[in-house]
Amino acid sequence: MWNRIFALMVKEFLALLKDRKGRLVLVVPPLVQLMVFGYAATFDLKNVPYAVYSEDRGYVSRDLLAAFNGSSNFTLIAHPGDEREIAPLVDSRKVLMVMRIGPNFSSDLSSGRASTIQIIVDGRNSNTAMLVVNYAATIVQKFNREWAARHDAAIPVHIETRSWFNPNLESRWFFIPGIVGLLTLLVTILVTALSVAREREQGTFDQLLVTPMSPLEILMGKALPGFLIGILEATLITLAAVFWFEVPLLGSILTLYTGVFLFLLSAVGVGLMISSIAVTQQQGLLGAFFFMVPAIILSGFATPIRNMPTIVQDLTLLNPMRYFLVVLRGVFLQGTPFHLLIPQLWPLAAIGIASLAIAGWLFRNRMY
Amino acid sequence: MSMRLNGLIRKEFLQIMRDPSSIAIAFLMPLVLLLLFGYGVSLDSEHIPLGVVVEAPSADSSNFAAAFPESRYFHIVHFQDTHQAVESMMAGRVNAIVVLKQDFPKRSRQPDGAPVQLILNGVDENTARIISGYVDGALQKWLEHDAAMRGDQLHSPIRMAQRVWFNGELRSRNFLVPGLIAVIMTLIGALLTALVMAREWERGTMEALLVTPISMNEVILGKLIPYFILGMGGLALSVAMALWLFEVPLRGSLWVLFAASALFLIAALGMGLLISSVAKSQFVAGQVAIIGTFLPAFILSGFIFDINSMPGFVQAITHVIAARYYVAILQTLFLVGDEWSVILPNAAALVLLAAIFLGITWKKTRKRLG
């Protein structure tokens, strides 16, 4: 039995690797994606283009502007001299933010009164808008603190902020472990989902059926290559994450691979489920898509599961990616020990076994 | 020529009808994706669990702890000691902890003031930043209140008033849904066409086509027209859902929206044709279509992540992503209006990209004839 499975595995690998394009597709795009997305997927804002409309000539407003200029988050690109120039700057997306300083700003402050500055933000992307407001508020608050210190105002309370696991709050550290999961899923599903459909379309599946191989053997011969490729893919991307992007890998490798192994059970299972239903490769691809997009979107990859409506949150309990991401981020950044990840690992195992069982059943029933 | 073209288009439509997966791509996919994103994805953080530890309860500390009330944005969890709170953060039950140490009451009377510790779980840095901003804001408010009570010096001389244009209540759905339409149209365009050319090569029917008097232009047009019609149908469905189901305002005009979408769809279909005529096998074409179109449209288009903040070489890559221009047009059309200073340059870029993709496809296919 193992001989036959092994022979089929060799054949699968040959079919995947026989032409140069097929080989390249397995290695190059995932790495290119890791590079591009590793640098692009970030909520850190840099060089936010902004304009200042100031009617005040006093020294305080100059100090405040210097504080904004000194920040790498903002780049001053316009200095409108007229109020009517503000709207066109924002509308045409030349600036994301306009700061308005009124005529009495410095004199108000010098005589001990509070003064207000206005911040106008382009809300087309509401998330970016909120971040811009936060950055501006941070600069203003720091300015206020220094002002209070210079003017001998006793401050009864101050905040000492420390962020654990990601001291500089780098967005990249959050996203790259997620990308390890995303690309592992992508490659594994594509390899397995199209494997049977391709044989069906080329008519070679019938030939496979007249061999002495049992359905279970064919299933295993199809599943194991996907599994091996998934493990290699995960290893490749983990290495790039650690050595290229220098994301810390604090936890144990064994815990990480337990997660990868259990996750691949589900990925291969779902891929084979799609494969046994699809008649053409186009259908297989479509099936892969209909699984992958929700699996990624509802996993907490980019937006927290907490923000979703309750029904959708319950639905995510069926999504293997959800658990895998917690394992990945935990092992990479927090060094979470194995026993704290068991609540994530057992659902992964359960979903994996269930999906492989369903794939096996579908295989037997859809084969002839 | 038109008769031959008609024949090809009819053949393509028959194939579409026979394998319903093309129809599913054009109509079922927008439906599923929009529902998923519209209801499932939200960047509006609410009910963030925040732990508060008061080590030595006193009048001063409870006065200060009251500065963090339960709100729509924060769910406050009180802890007796720091150890408990840290364990809870490790397990992911709270995202941050505010600690008022034992000596808080004593030190708050001293000149340099009492420190309040804020421990953030930095893994999800976006949430961490939101919390940090919120805690800072709450502190400022408390300080002002406290200073006013004691008739003290001003602590925060500058106040910031913010006005967010185009999306006053910062509803993330208002920018996610238009951006999503761009992602969906990319998918429709690339998936629909990526496989069809490769399929003809793989099945050997392309050679059969080549010996007929049909020219390569006709083959390309014969592929483009049916899928263009299908794609525009998918667009109409998406726009209808955006307006009536998700109640995103459309402040620009509908005809500009459809004209820009037609341009974009031609570019996306061209990209798909290019992929499939280069790949020649459905497996490779399918892989490249997903990896080369969906993910860039999602991550590199400015749909969620700000392009200006990306490093230079990534910004350079975004220039060949058609979705980038389409996202800019869509977000402006929906939320701002017919703002030509945004629409015209981006539309011009779309025309250029479409011409490049179709031109290369045309050249590639012709070469194989020779």
Interval B154-174: pLDDT, tens: 566 777 777 788 887 778 888
Predicted pLDDT at A92: 87
Given an 8 Å threshold on Cβ–Cβ distance, is A165 in contact with B37? no
Rounded to whole angstroms, how far apart are CA atoms B68 and B54?
12
What CATH number has the domain bearing residue B116?
Answer: 3.40.1710.10
Residues of chain A with pLDDT under 70: 19, 21-22, 25, 152-156, 366-368
Which of chain A's residues have a Cβ under 8 Å away from the Cβ of B157?
Answer: 109, 114-115, 144, 147-148
Nearest alpha-carbon partner for A82 in A105, A51, A116: A51
Nearest Cβ partner of B42 from A36, A165, A303? A303
Q: Domain containing B186: what range?
A: 6-42+171-369
Q: Please return the burial class of A59, using the count of CB atoms within 10 Å of its CB with bins 0-12, 13-18 and 19+.
A: exposed
Shared-domain flag, residues B272 and B288: yes
Which of chain A's residues have a Cβ under 8 Å away from the Cβ of B120?
Answer: 161-164, 169
Instruction: Mutate one of A124, A172, A323 to test the B interface: name it (highest B CB count within 10 A).
Output: A124
Shared-domain flag, residues B93 and B58: yes
Given an 8 Å threshold on Cβ–Cβ distance, is A157 in contact with B142? yes
Shared-domain flag, residues B342 and B237: yes
Residue B86 belongs to some domain of the structure: yes
Which of chain A's residues have a Cβ under 8 Å away from the Cβ of B340?
Answer: none
What is this structure's pTM?
Answer: 0.81
Shared-domain flag, residues B14 and B76: no
Which of chain A's residues have a Cβ under 8 Å away from the Cβ of B12?
Answer: none
**What is chain A's Cα-based Rg?**
28
Rounded to whole angstroms, how far apart are CA atoms B170 and B176?
11
Instruction: Count residue pairs from A and B with Cβ separation < 8 A.
Output: 354
Q: What is the mean pLDDT of residues B204-230?
A: 82
CA of B38: which chain A residue's CA is closest? A308
Residue B158 belongs to some domain of the structure: no
Q: Are A264 and A191 in contact (CB under 8 A)?
A: no
Instruction: Mutate one of B90, B112, B120, B123 to test the A interface: name it (highest A CB count within 10 A).
Output: B123
Shared-domain flag, residues B95 and B238: no
Shared-domain flag, residues B255 and B340: yes
Task: Report chain B's mean pLDDT, rounded to a whole number.
Answer: 83
Interval B311-345: pLDDT, tens: 888 899 899 899 999 999 999 999 988 989 899 99
Strands (E), chain A: 48-54, 74-78, 97-101, 115-122, 157-164
Shared-domain flag, residues B194 and B339: yes
Shared-domain flag, residues B126 and B82: yes
Interval B85-95: pLDDT, tens: 888 887 778 88
Residue B365 belongs to some domain of the structure: yes
Given an 8 Å threshold on Cβ–Cβ distance, is B291 in contact with A33? yes
Convert A33-54 to b/e letters by CB count within 10 Å (16 or more is b). bbebbbbbbbbbbeebbbbbbb
A176-190, B124-138, B181-195: range with highest mean pLDDT: A176-190
Which of chain A's residues have a Cβ under 8 Å away from the Cβ of B140?
Answer: 141, 144
User: H helices of chain B, where?
Assistant: 2-18, 21-23, 29-40, 59-65, 82-90, 104-107, 125-150, 173-203, 205-210, 216-240, 254-279, 282-289, 295-299, 312-318, 322-335, 340-369
- Sign (positive or negative) of CA dihedral B87, B88, B92, B94: negative
Angle between the A195-202 and B282-289 helix axes, to the nearest 10 degrees? Answer: 150
Which of chain B's residues have a Cβ under 8 Å away from the Cβ of A327?
Answer: none
Residue B159 belongs to some domain of the structure: no
Residue B164 belongs to some domain of the structure: no
Shared-domain flag, residues B195 and B116: no
Total count of domains within chain B: 2
Predicted pLDDT at B283: 73
Residue B196 belongs to some domain of the structure: yes
Q: What is the DSSP letter of B49?
A: E
- Residue B117: pLDDT band by 50, 70, 90 thresholds? confident
Shared-domain flag, residues B261 and B287: yes
Predicted pLDDT at B355: 93
At a CB cut-off of 8 Å and minimum separation 6, what does A289 contact? Answer: B29, B187, B191, B290
Residue B160 belongs to some domain of the structure: no
- Decide which of B99, B117, B149 is a domain's last residue: B149
Given an 8 Å threshold on Cβ–Cβ distance, is B170 in contact with A157? no
Rounded to whole angstroms, how far apart are CA atoms A36 and A61?
40
Min mean pLDDT across B46-50, B104-108, B177-181 is at B104-108
Global ipTM: 0.78
Shared-domain flag, residues B334 and B196: yes
- Residue B370: pLDDT band by 50, 70, 90 thresholds? very low
CATH fold of A49-164 reads abc type-2 transporter like fold (3.40.1710)
Shared-domain flag, residues B128 and B243: no
Residue B38 belongs to some domain of the structure: yes
CA of A48: which chain B residue's CA is closest? B308
Given an 8 Å threshold on Cβ–Cβ distance, is B288 in contact with A29? yes
A89-93, A287-291, B70-74, B255-259: range with highest mean pLDDT: B255-259
CA of A35: which chain B residue's CA is closest? B314
Q: In chain A, where are the structural domains located?
A: 2-40+170-367, 49-164
CA of A167: which chain B residue's CA is closest? B122
Rounded to whole angstroms, how far apart are CA atoms A66 and A290?
51
- Decide which of B149, B184, B217 is a domain's last residue: B149
B182-196, B200-214, B224-238: range with highest mean pLDDT: B224-238
